[in-house]
Chains A and B, each alone.
Chain A
Amino acid sequence: MRIAPTFHVAYRALRRNKMRSVLTALGIIIGVGAVIAMVGIGNGAKAQVEAQIASLGQNVILIFSGSTTSSGIRTGWGGAGTLKIEDAEAIRREVPSVIGVSEEVVSTTQAAAGNQNWFTRIFGESADYFDIRQWPLSDGAPFTPQDVRSANKVCVIGRTTATQIYGNENPIGQILRIKNVPFTITGVLTPKGLSPQGVDQDDIVVMPYTSAMKRVIGGTTLRNINVQIDDPAQIAPAQQQIISLLRQRHNIRPGRDDDFTVRTQQEIAEAATATSRVMTVLLGAIAGVSLVVGGIGIMNIMLVSVTERTREIGVRMAVGARGTDILTQFLIEAVTLSSVGGLIGIICGIGASSVLSIYAHWPTLISIGSIAIAFLFSAAVGVFFGFYPARKAAALDPIEALRYE
């Protein structure tokens, strides 16, 4: 038997029961639509987190003072004040693959200019900072290594800070008073948007760390050190070199915990995306359940259909249909229901996630892969749940089937 007429037969049978076919397919439409939308939301969140992690810079290792793993008192990252400026210089000097180091101190304080003032974050950094974080300026120029050495009163500000204090005015060359110290603004950073934690990264003032430590924040220890490595393959060796260098410098005996924490960008990215990955799997699984329920709906309707059309099956067998012809016919009906439902479901899912990203501002990401998987899965649902009813139809005895009332 040829496949084309079987498709025709199956299509006609589905068309004869339009309402029932539509309702049966609806189960699959909802299932596939939910899978597409849910996985889209999860992937969107994950992609956003990944993009933000990537915005930390390339091949970056972060060294925080204090340790999250030490026993006894746990101070958290950046809390214990164990990192010295000399540590950063030692890393710059002794780890060969390092191409950039930025000593970092962080504070929040009020910044003022004219009659405007704004509560913002102050980052003290070295001149390498803008390269390490791959954060170019949109206007003006960054501060120089000379500014860092001399602890000059210069700074670079983020877009949000610029807007809040200067409005539409050009802030370059203006004076910004921080703790009553006048800083000259040399540049404005390109906007970066929200961080994974929801912090506005453009609400920032970046100045030489020397100036920050001497004039704004005080103190002699660094919160963390940002290190950039020349080659991704060198990240792991560099991480080890930094750990042993710092342990040596901090006189930590073997067997004792580090008083600092070294994290590669990779590790941070993995930790941050783990949550969204779990969310994607969870949402997808819940949606998958509705797809299975849709499949059971198909099986139910196909079983009813086989019983209802017993006489038809008998007639088809009497005029020469083999068992496999009947099996194919009913299987095609089931698969047509599920795959047409799947196609419509994909469209609905894409629509639903567009609506979510437009109106709820949730990031969604629908990949060709997830569409293909959803479609194949819906077709497989049709085969799986259609097989039993189809086999039941194919196994009917033609005499019994013809006599069926």
Chain B
Amino acid sequence: MKNGALVRLVDVHKTYRTGEMEVPAVCGVSLEIKRGEFVALMGASGSGKSTLMNILGCLDRPTTGSYFLDAADVSGLNRDQLADVRNRKIGFVFQNFNLLPRTSARENAELPLIYGAHGLSHSQLCEKADRVLSSVGLAGREDHHSSQLSGGQQQRVAIARALINDPEMLLADEPTGNLDSRTSVEIMAIFQQLNERGITIVMVTHEQDIAAYAQRNVIMRDGVILDDHLVTQRFEAAAQIQQNGRARPEPARRGEGAPDTHVTM
């Protein structure tokens, strides 16, 4: 194991069986992601990027091949063990936010703490959730339900939920897919700041613009990695927001405060 590699996939295959038919989704992927990298996983639909994402997120197991996460082989773990790995090491951000309905931002954020042996009291849970919510710019909205939050705010709650357990890796599946471009930039700014703090981020996207915020782009097609390169002209989200803010001072959306992308955690 090379030093600093958080993720190491060795010749990973994933084949789905539908009746008699065997449908290969991932056909021999070997990939290494170092600690602190910001990787965008790209590809058209059916390229196997979602399947690879599920394997990286310990939601699914490879049919053959090995997956080392944080130097530990997780390809042979059972359901419960995978659940524990997800709880401790991985934070998920989804395209459709996947917040619990009719539940406050605080309760959504503290969800991962309920599972796994954390032994925190109710007030400690709240305190921790409030801290991580304010770090993604949602201070003062802890008690808002998801229906009272804008899309960008909902995604920030989801990021807070992903961060609350101090995971090794943040997995984002089309995190800007349901957001307008301005909000997308704000979310990317949060990602970049988290990444600067040392969190490894793997993000699935099919948008070139969004992939340009990452350090490295991995492009898949037909279940194999087609291209793997570092981004040369990387977008800086924070700088773009400042520019945009000066160029066209849009009035803040109702229910949404001024963009606050400063990560203070």
Binding site for B on A (CB under 8 A): 1-2, 5-6, 8-9, 12, 16, 311-312, 314-325, 398-399, 402
Contact = CB atoms under 8 A, between A and B. Distances in A.
Given A315-B100, A320-B88, A402 B94 contact: yes
A2 B120 CA distance: 10
Nearest to B112: A319
Interface residues of B, number: 31
Nearest to A405: B96
Contacts of A1: 114-117
A373 B205 CA distance: 59
B79 A323 contact: yes
Contacts of B60: 399
Contacts of A320: 83-84, 86-88, 112, 115-116, 165
Contacts of A398: 59
A16 B112 CA distance: 20
28 contacts: A1-B115, A1-B116, A2-B114, A12-B103, A16-B101, A16-B102, A312-B101, A315-B98, A315-B100, A316-B115, A317-B59, A318-B92, A319-B86, A319-B87, A319-B111, A319-B112, A319-B115, A320-B83, A320-B86, A320-B115, A320-B165, A321-B115, A322-B80, A323-B80, A398-B59, A399-B54, A399-B60, A402-B94
A297 to B, nearest CB: 23
- Closest CB pairs A-B (n = 5): A320-B87, A319-B112, A320-B115, A5-B114, A322-B83
A280 B95 CA distance: 60
B161 A319 contact: yes
B140 interface: no
B115 A402 contact: no
Given A315-B99, A317-B86, A323-B79, 5 more contacts: A311-B98, A316-B111, A319-B87, A399-B59, A402-B59
Contacts of B88: 320
Given A1-B116, A399-B60, A402-B94, A322 B79 contact: yes
B18 to A, nearest CB: 13
A298 B81 CA distance: 32
Contacts of A325: 115
B62 interface: no
Contact of A317 (B83, B99, B116, B161): B83
A309 B87 CA distance: 20
A92 to B, nearest CB: 79
A318 B59 contact: yes
Most buried by B among A2, A311, A323, A398: A398
Given A12-B103, A16-B102, A315 B54 contact: no
Nearest to A15: B102
A314 B83 contact: no
A314 B86 contact: no
A327 to B, nearest CB: 12
A7 to B, nearest CB: 11
A19 B84 CA distance: 35
A63 to B, nearest CB: 75
Interface in B65-82: 79-80
A324 B99 CA distance: 21
B186 interface: no
Interface in B154-205: 161, 165
A315 to B, nearest CB: 5
B119 interface: yes
Contacts of B84: 320, 322
B107 interface: yes
B57 interface: yes
Nearest to A394: B79
A402 B54 CA distance: 11
A402 B60 CA distance: 13
B111 A315 contact: yes
Contacts of A324: 80
A331 to B, nearest CB: 16
A322 B107 CA distance: 19
Contacts of B98: 311, 314-315, 318, 402
A8 to B, nearest CB: 8
Nearest to B98: A315
A8 B111 CA distance: 12
Given A320-B83, A322-B83, A12 B107 contact: yes
